[in-house]
C-alpha cells in the first residue's frame, strides 16, 4: 500500500514538473529550435485568428500530443509546425500538451459579420448534417455545441474560422492524415467551398443556438433541413424541410416531438432508462431513408405485429420503443410525450401515401453471410470500425459537456433484451445500411453479421417480459436463431445475470 | 272514463268486423267486380312469383291502403289492379288492407339459381349502395335485410323477384307515381337493367347475409364496394374496394371497425348513449367525399383543434364523437373499439397522402344565406323534405325489426349539445351536400340554413361540458352565432331543461 501511495505521489509530482516544463516551453521555447508557442497561439493558448493558429487551451492532452507527433512524422503537413514538432523531445511534447490541456479556455467566440445564409448553412451542417450525402452532423462526433469529446474528437467551437477552414482544406488535398477510418478526409471531400466556410464560421462564432444567439441574429430562420438535399436517385419520399414546420400550436408540438426524438434523456426523462436517442437508430432525426425513417413508419400503422400478436396503433408502437430500446417505462397513451412524437412523425410524413410498403422503410435486409456469423471475427470488425466511437467496452462515449455523443451498445446503459437491436438480423441490417457514420454500406454482409453477433453476444438489461427464467423467456420471446438471449457465451448464459430492466434516469444536474 | 272505455271497445269491435269483412273479400271477392285477392296473391297472401304478384301478408295496412288508392286514382298503372281498386268501397279498401296486414308472413325466400356476380351486385346495391351515383343502400330506407319500416318503406325481402323488377321498371317508365319527393323514380332511373335484376333477385332470396347464406354461397366474395364506382370527375381520392381488406389479423380488425362504424349501438354498445350510426353523418360507411369521409380525416390528424385547444391525435378525435355525437362515454385510448375504428379509417386511406387538405374532406361550406336563417321557413323545409324519414317530431324512425333506420335529429335520442351537428353552419353544410338521401345538392343554400336552424332550435341532451349554468356554458363553449344553445325559442331557453348527457344504451333484446 505504501508503495502504491508513493508511486501515486511521485506521479503527481512528475505531472506538476511536466506542467512547469510545458509552461516554460509555451512561454519561451525549449532553448533549442523551438520558439515560444505563445508567439502564434497567444499568451494563454487562445489561438490567433489572423495567423490561423488554433486555440490549444483546454484541449485534451492526448489529442494535442497526437497532433505534435503527426507533425513530427509528416502526417500533418505544415511548414511551421513540422520542424517545431521534430525539435521537441518526447518528454517535452508530453509536457507542453499537458500544460495546454490544463490551461483555462478563455477564447471568445468570433463576432464576425455573418450573413444569414452562411450561418444557416453552417448551423445546418453542424447540427443536422446533410444525409443525402451521408454527411452526419459535425456535433454527432464533436459533441453538442462542438465542444468536443475524448481524445479523438477535438472541440471545434471558438476555434478560429481560418484554422478550421485550413484543416478542411488540408483533408481535401491530402495534406493532413485522413484520420481514423479516413473519416475526416472523406467528409471534407463532400463539402463544397461554401460549406467549408459556413461551417468554419459557424463554429468560430461559438456554435450559437437560437437561445444564445446575439439579438441581431435571432430572426434568422431555422436551417432548411431537406430543402438543400439533392433529390435521391430513386423515387424515395422526402420529408418536408424543417423550416416548414408551421409557426402555430401544431408546429409547437411537432418541434417538441423532434426535440424529444433527438434527446429523450433530456426531454422525456420520466420515461427513459438510458441515454440513447431515438436518432441513434433513426438517423437524421428520423428523416433518413433505409434507417427506419419515421415517415415510413407513420404511414405503416396501425398494423399487426407478431411481437405482441395484435394490431398496434402508431402510438402503441412508440410505447414499445420506450419499453425496450429506451429501457424505460412507456408513457401512457395520450401522454404529451407520445402525442408530440406522433405529431412529429405525422408531420415528417406530410404528402406520403398511407400504406405499409413505402420505399426506404426500415433497414434493407442484408444477405445471410457466406459463412456463419462468428463472435471472434465480429470482435475484430468491432475493434476496427466501431470502438473508436462506441468504446472498446461498448459503453458509448460522452461529449465534453457530459451529454451523450455515442450510444452504449451493450451493458447497463444500453437497450434491453427486448429491443429490436437485440435481433442479430435487424442489427446487421442497420449496421450494414448506416454504419460507420458517413461510411454507410462500406461493411460487407459478412462483416455486418459478424459484428452484430459480437454486439448481441454481450449482456444488457433484462427483457421486460422476463417470465421468471431465462429458458422460458427465450422459449416465449426469443425463439429465433437471431437472438443470443439464453445462449452461452464465454461460459456465461446471456440474460441470466442481466440487470433489471425498466429503469428511470436519475435526475442529472442541468447540462 | 266509462265513455272512453266504451269507445275503445267499440273501436276494437269495429276492427274485428273490418278484419272479418277483409277476410271475405280476400277469399271470395266483394260479390261485385272484385274477385278473390287470393286468386293472384295466394291463399295466405304470400304472393305468386310466376304471376309477379306481391306478397301482401304482414305489410303495413297504411301502405296497402295507399297502394289501392293509387291504383284507383291511376297513380299506379296496372291493368288488373286498377279496375279492382276502383270497385272497392273506401270501407272495403280499409278492411282488406287491415286483414292482410295482420296475416302472418309465411312467404319463403326464393331459392333461385343465383349467379355469384348477380348476388354480389345485388348485395352491394342493397346493403352499400353506389354513392358515386348518389345511390344509397336500399336498406338505408327499407330497413336492415329489406324488412321494411313504417307506412312509407315497404318490405322488399322475399317479394317475388318478378314483382320487384316490375316496380323498378314502372318507376323508370313513369307507370308508377314517383313517390314522395320523387325518390324512387329518380333512384330507379339510375339503375341499369343488370342492377334491377340483381337487386330484385337478391331481395327475393331474402336478402341473405353471409351468416344466413346457404352453404353453397358462402364462398362468394364480399361486394366490391368502390371497384364499380366510376372515377369521380375531379381528382378525388377513392378508398380501396372492400374486397381488398386483407384476409389476415389486420383485416379482421379493419372489418370490426367497419361494423362498429355502421352500427355502434350493436357493436360498441358500452360507449354509446344513442342509436345513431357513424355512417349517418359519414355516408357510405365513411367512404363518401364531401361527407366527412374517414380517409380524409385520418390523414388530417394529429392536428390542433380550437374545440379543446390542443393537438388531438386521431384516436382522441374519435373519442370526441363518442362523447358528443353518440352522447355516450368515450372509450379509453387503446380500447379495441378505438383501435378498430382507427384501423378502419387507416385502411380506407390506403394510398392517400398525409396532410390536412385532401379534396373532399369535411362538408363543402355553403354560402351564408341571402336572408337570415329562419325557424318558420326551416320548419316548412323540414316538413317537405325531412319529416318523411326523420319523423315529424324529429325522433327518427325504426325499421320493422326494431333496428334504427333514420336517426333522431333532436330530443333524448339524438346527439347532444356538444356535437358538431349542433353548429348550424356545419349542419347546413352537411344537409346541403348530402340530404335528402339520393338528392344531394337539391336544397338551396337558404333552405339548408333554414332547416339546419330549425333542427338546432330544439332541445337535445345536455352538453357534457356543462359548467353548472346554461349561460356560462354558452359563454365557454357556444360563443358563436351558429349555436342556438342558451337561446330562447318558443318561450324556452334551449339547454335549460336538457336531459342529462353521457347515457349508455340499456341492453336491448337481441334483434
Q: In whole angstroms, what is the distance from residue B15 CA to residue B99 CA? A: 10
Q: Provide the pLDDT confidence category of residue B220 given band limits of 50, 70 and 90.
A: very low
Whether chain B has a CB inside 8 Å of the CB on A304: the answer is yes
Q: What is the mean predicted confidence (pLDDT) over A382-387? A: 96
CB contact under 8 Å between A352 and B352, yes or no, is no
Q: What's phi and psi for A43, nearest 5 deg?
A: -60, -35
Tally of helices (H runs) and strands (E runs) in chain A: 22, 6
Whether chain B has a CB inside 8 Å of the CB on A247: the answer is no
pLDDT at B100 over 90: yes
Q: Lowest-pLDDT range, A2-6, A343-347, A380-384?
A: A2-6
Query: Which of the residues B302, B319, B336, B357 would you substitute to probe the A interface, choosing the one with the greatest number of A C-beta atoms within 10 Å?
Result: B302
CB contact under 8 Å between A302 and B253, yes or no, is yes
List Cβ neighbours of B457 (8 Å cut-off, separation of 6 or more): B375, B378, B484, B487, B489, B494
Q: Lowest-pLDDT range, A331-335, A430-434, B103-107, B394-398?
A: B103-107
CB contact under 8 Å between B250 and A334, yes or no, is no
List Cβ neighbours of B142 (8 Å cut-off, separation of 6 or more): B148, B149, B153, B154, B155, B156, B399
A340 to chain B: closest CA residue: B311
Q: Which of B248, B298, B354 sits opposite A351 (nearest CB)?
A: B354
Whether chain A has a CB inside 8 Å of the CB on B248: the answer is yes
pLDDT at A12 over 80: no
Over residues A438-493, the pLDDT tens digits come to 999 899 999 999 999 999 999 999 999 999 999 999 999 999 999 999 999 989 99
B356 to chain A: closest CA residue: A350
Whether chain B has a CB inside 8 Å of the CB on A350: the answer is yes
Spell B101-138 as b/e; 16+ CB within 10 A means b.
bebebebeebeeebeeebbbbbbbbbbbbbbbebbbbb
Q: What pLDDT does A96 receive?
A: 96
CATH number for B375-493: choose from 1.10.760.10, 3.40.50.970, 3.20.20.210, 2.40.30.10: 1.10.760.10
Q: What's phi and psi for A97, nearest 5 deg?
A: -65, -45
Give me the residue spans of the domains in chain B.
Answer: 25-102, 116-217, 242-348, 375-493
Closest by alpha carbon to B452, among B491, B476, B481, B474?
A: B481
Q: Provide the pLDDT confidence category of residue A233 given band limits of 50, 70 and 90.
A: very low
Say whether A375-493 and A242-348 share the same fold: yes
Q: Provide the pLDDT confidence category of residue A218 given band limits of 50, 70 and 90.
A: very low
A345 to chain B: closest CA residue: B302
Question: In terms of pLDDT, which residue wins out, B319 or A52?
Answer: B319
The alpha carbon of residue B252 is apart from the nearest alpha carbon of chain A, in Å, by 10
Q: In whole angstroms, what is the distance from residue B13 CA to residue A316 CA? A: 67
Q: Which residue has the cell 490561423?
A: A52
Q: Provide the pLDDT confidence category of residue B432 given band limits of 50, 70 and 90.
A: very high
Over residues B111-122, the pLDDT tens digits come to 666 666 677 889
Are B272 and B327 spatial neighbours (Cβ–Cβ below 8 Å)? yes
CATH number for B116-217: choose from 1.10.760.10, 2.30.31.70, 1.20.950.20, 3.30.70.1380: 1.10.760.10
How many CB atoms within 10 Å of residue A167? Answer: 22
The alpha carbon of residue A357 is apart from the nearest alpha carbon of chain B, in Å, by 10
Q: What is the mean predicted confidence (pLDDT) over B372-376? A: 95
Q: What is the mean predicted confidence (pLDDT) over B314-341? A: 97
pLDDT at B218 over 70: no
Q: In whole angstroms, what is the distance from residue B271 CA to residue A85 CA? A: 79
Q: Lowest-pLDDT range, A102-111, A412-421, B14-23, B173-182?
A: B14-23
In chain A, what residues touch B349 (CB-CB under 8 Å)? Answer: 354
Q: How high does pLDDT run on average in chain A?
A: 89
* Cα–Cα distances in angstroms (integers) from residue B460 to residues B272, B341, B418, in the given order: 15, 26, 10
Percent of chain B beyond pLDDT 70? Answer: 88
Percent of chain A beyond pLDDT 70? Answer: 88
Are A28 and A92 spatial neighbours (Cβ–Cβ below 8 Å)? no
Q: A489 forms bridges with which residues in the sheet?
A: A492
CATH class (in words) of the domain with range A2-102: mainly alpha
pLDDT at A176 over 50: yes
Q: What pLDDT does B70 receive?
A: 94
Strand bridging mode B404-406 / B488-489: unpaired
Are A416 and A410 spatial neighbours (Cβ–Cβ below 8 Å)? no
Q: What pLDDT does A14 receive?
A: 58
Q: What pLDDT does A370 receive?
A: 84
pLDDT at B506 over 60: no
Q: Which of A250, A299, A302 sits opposite B303 (nearest CB)?
A: A250
Q: In whole angstroms, what is the distance from residue B107 CA to residue B17 CA? A: 26
Q: What pLDDT does A231 receive?
A: 40
pLDDT at B431 over 80: yes
pLDDT at B224 over 90: no
* Cα–Cα distances in angstroms (integers) from residue B133 to residues A487, B188, B195, B437, B439, in the given order: 63, 12, 13, 11, 10
pLDDT at A427 over 60: yes
Q: What pLDDT does B505 receive?
A: 67
B242-348 architecture in CATH?
Orthogonal Bundle (1.10)
Over residues A365-379, the pLDDT tens digits come to 877 888 999 999 999
Three cell numbers, residue A486: 439464453
Q: What pLDDT does B210 receive?
A: 57
How many residue contacts between A and B have a Cβ separation below 8 Å?
86
Over residues B443-471, the pLDDT tens digits come to 999 999 999 999 999 999 999 999 999 99
Q: Which CATH superfamily is domain B25-102 in?
A: Cytochrome c-like domain (1.10.760.10)
CB contact under 8 Å between B302 and A346, yes or no, is yes
Residue A496 is classified by DSSP as T
Three cell numbers, residue A429: 441490417
Q: Provide the pLDDT confidence category of residue B216 given band limits of 50, 70 and 90.
A: very low
Q: Provide the pLDDT confidence category of residue B402 given band limits of 50, 70 and 90.
A: confident
pLDDT at B9 over 60: no
Task: Answer left, alpha or beta for residue B150, where phi above 0 means left and psi between -120 and 50 means alpha.
Answer: left
Q: In whole angstroms, what is the distance from residue A46 CA to residue A159 CA? A: 9
Strand bridging mode B404-406 / B397-398: antiparallel
Q: What is the mean predicted confidence (pLDDT) over B375-387? A: 97
In chain A, what residues touch B356 (CB-CB under 8 Å)? Answer: none
Q: What is the mean predicted confidence (pLDDT) over B70-80? A: 92
Residue A149 is classified by DSSP as B
Whether chain A has a CB inside 8 Å of the CB on B349: the answer is yes
Closest by alpha carbon to A280, among A269, A295, A268, A291?
A: A291
In chain B, what residues touch A333 (CB-CB under 8 Å)? Answer: 315, 332-334
Q: What is the mean predicted confidence (pLDDT) over B188-196? A: 95
In chain B, what residues touch A253 (CB-CB under 8 Å)? Answer: 302, 304, 311
Whether chain B has a CB inside 8 Å of the CB on A248: the answer is yes
Whether chain A has a CB inside 8 Å of the CB on B79: the answer is no
CB contact under 8 Å between B315 and A315, yes or no, is yes
The alpha carbon of residue A317 is apart from the nearest alpha carbon of chain B, in Å, by 12
List Cβ neighbours of B265 (8 Å cut-off, separation of 6 or more): B272, B274, B275, B276, B277, B404, B505, B508
Q: How far apart are the first and last CA of chain B?
A: 38
H/E stretch holding B327: none
In chain B, what residues touch A299 (CB-CB under 8 Å)? Answer: 354
Question: In terms of pLDDT, which residue wins out, A506 or B240?
Answer: B240
Question: In terms of pLDDT, which residue wins out, B300 or A235?
Answer: B300
pLDDT at A54 over 60: yes
Q: What pLDDT does A132 receive?
A: 87
Closest by alpha carbon to A70, among A151, A176, A169?
A: A176
Percent of chain A beyond pLDDT 90? Answer: 74
ipTM: 0.85
CATH 1.10.1060.10 given to domain A116-211:
no
Whether chain B has a CB inside 8 Å of the CB on A308: the answer is no
Whether chain B has a CB inside 8 Å of the CB on A313: the answer is yes
CB contact under 8 Å between A339 and B311, yes or no, is yes
Q: What pLDDT does A358 receive?
A: 94
Q: In whole angstroms, what is the distance from residue B444 CA to residue B431 CA? A: 10
Q: Lowest-pLDDT range, A42-51, B31-40, B227-236, B321-330?
A: B227-236
List Cβ neighbours of A63 (8 Å cut-off, separation of 6 or more): A151, A152, A154
Closest by alpha carbon to A226, among A129, A354, A340, A344?
A: A129
Q: What is the mean predicted confidence (pLDDT) over B319-326? A: 97
Q: Provide the pLDDT confidence category of residue A221 given band limits of 50, 70 and 90.
A: very low
Q: In whole angstroms, what is the distance from residue B189 CA to residue B289 CA? A: 23
Spell A376-412 as b/e; 16+ CB within 10 A means b.
ebbbebbeebbbbbbbeebbbbbbbeebbbbbbbbbb
Q: In whole angstroms, what is the distance from residue B112 CA to residue B45 CA? A: 21
Q: Lowest-pLDDT range, A284-293, B62-71, B119-128?
A: B119-128
Query: Which of the residues A250, A254, A295, A302 would you substitute to probe the B interface, choosing the one with the greatest number of B C-beta atoms within 10 Å?
Result: A302
CB contact under 8 Å between B333 and A350, yes or no, is no
Q: What is the mean predicted confidence (pLDDT) over B333-345? A: 98
> The whole model's pTM is what?
0.87
Query: Which of the residues A293, A298, A311 would you substitute to probe the B interface, choosing the one with the greatest number of B C-beta atoms within 10 Å?
Result: A311
Q: Which of B310, B311, B352 sits opposite A353 (nearest CB)?
A: B352
List Cβ neighbours of B7 (8 Å cut-off, separation of 6 or more): none
Amino acid at each position: 500500500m505504501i508503495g502504491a501511495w508513493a508511486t501515486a505521489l511521485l506521479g503527481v509530482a512528475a505531472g506538476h514538473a511536466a506542467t512547469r516544463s510545458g509552461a516554460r516551453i509555451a512561454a519561451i521555447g525549449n532553448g533549442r529550435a523551438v520558439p515560444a508557442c505563445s508567439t502564434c497561439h497567444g499568451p494563454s493558448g487562445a489561438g490567433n485568428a489572423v495567423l490561423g493558429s488554433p486555440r490549444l487551451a483546454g484541449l485534451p492532452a492526448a489529442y494535442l500530443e497526437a497532433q505534435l507527433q503527426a507533425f513530427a512524422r509528416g502526417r500533418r503537413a505544415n511548414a511551421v509546425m513540422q520542424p517545431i514538432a521534430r525539435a521537441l523531445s518526447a518528454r517535452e511534447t508530453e509536457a507542453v500538451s499537458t500544460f495546454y490541456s490544463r490551461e483555462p479556455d478563455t477564447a471568445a467566440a468570433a463576432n464576425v459579420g455573418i450573413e444569414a445564409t452562411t450561418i444557416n448553412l453552417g448551423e445546418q451542417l453542424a447540427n443536422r448534417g446533410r444525409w443525402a450525402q451521408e454527411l452526419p452532423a459535425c456535433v454527432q462526433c464533436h459533441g453538442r455545441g462542438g465542444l468536443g469529446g475524448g481524445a479523438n474528437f477535438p472541440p471545434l467551437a471558438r476555434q478560429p474560422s481560418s484554422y478550421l477552414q485550413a484543416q478542411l482544406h488540408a483533408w481535401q488535398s491530402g495534406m493532413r492524415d485522413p484520420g481514423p477510418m479516413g473519416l475526416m478526409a472523406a467528409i471534407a471531400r463532400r463539402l463544397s467551398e461554401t460549406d467549408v466556410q459556413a461551417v468554419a464560421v459557424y463554429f468560430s462564432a461559438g456554435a450559437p443556438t437560437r437561445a444564445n444567439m446575439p439579438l441581431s441574429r435571432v430572426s434568422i430562420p431555422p436551417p432548411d433541413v431537406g430543402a438543400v438535399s439533392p433529390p435521391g436517385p430513386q423515387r424515395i419520399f422526402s420529408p418536408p424541410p424543417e423550416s416548414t414546420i408551421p409557426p402555430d400550436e401544431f408546429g409547437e408540438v411537432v418541434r417538441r416531438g423532434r426535440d424529444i426524438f433527438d434527446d429523450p434523456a433530456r426531454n422525456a426523462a420520466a420515461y427513459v432508462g438510458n441515454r440513447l436517442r431515438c436518432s441513434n437508430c433513426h438517423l437524421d432525426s428520423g428523416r433518413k431513408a433505409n434507417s427506419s425513417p419515421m415517415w415510413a413508419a407513420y404511414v405503416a400503422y396501425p398494423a399487426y405485429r407478431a411481437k405482441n400478436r395484435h394490431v398496434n396503433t402508431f402510438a402503441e408502437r412508440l410505447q414499445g420503443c420506450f419499453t425496450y430500446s429506451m429501457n424505460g417505462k412507456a408513457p401512457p397513451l395520450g401522454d404529451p410525450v407520445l402525442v408530440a412524437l406522433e405529431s412529429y412523425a405525422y408531420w415528417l410524413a406530410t404528402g406520403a401515401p398511407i400504406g405499409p410498403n413505402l420505399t426506404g422503410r426500415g433497414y434493407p435486409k442484408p444477405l445471410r453471410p457466406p459463412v456463419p456469423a462468428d463472435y471472434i471475427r465480429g470482435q475484430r470488425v468491432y475493434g476496427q470500425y466501431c470502438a473508436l466511437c462506441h468504446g472498446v467496452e461498448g459503453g458509448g462515449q460522452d461529449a465534453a459537456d457530459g451529454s451523450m455523443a455515442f450510444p452504449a451498445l451493450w451493458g447497463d446503459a444500453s437497450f434491453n433484451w427486448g429491443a429490436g437491436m437485440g435481433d442479430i438480423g435487424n442489427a446487421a441490417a442497420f449496421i450494414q445500411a448506416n454504419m460507420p457514420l458517413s461510411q454507410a454500406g462500406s461493411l460487407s454482409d459478412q462483416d455486418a453479421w459478424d459484428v452484430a453477433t459480437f454486439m448481441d453476444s454481450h449482456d444488457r438489461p433484462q427483457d421486460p417480459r422476463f417470465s421468471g427464467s431465462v429458458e422460458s423467456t427465450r422459449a416465449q420471446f426469443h425463439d429465433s436463431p437471431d437472438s443470443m438471449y439464453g445462449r452461452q457465451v464465454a461460459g456465461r448464459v446471456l440474460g441470466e445475470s442481466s440487470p433489471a430492466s425498466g429503469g428511470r434516469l436519475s435526475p442529472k444536474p442541468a447540462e
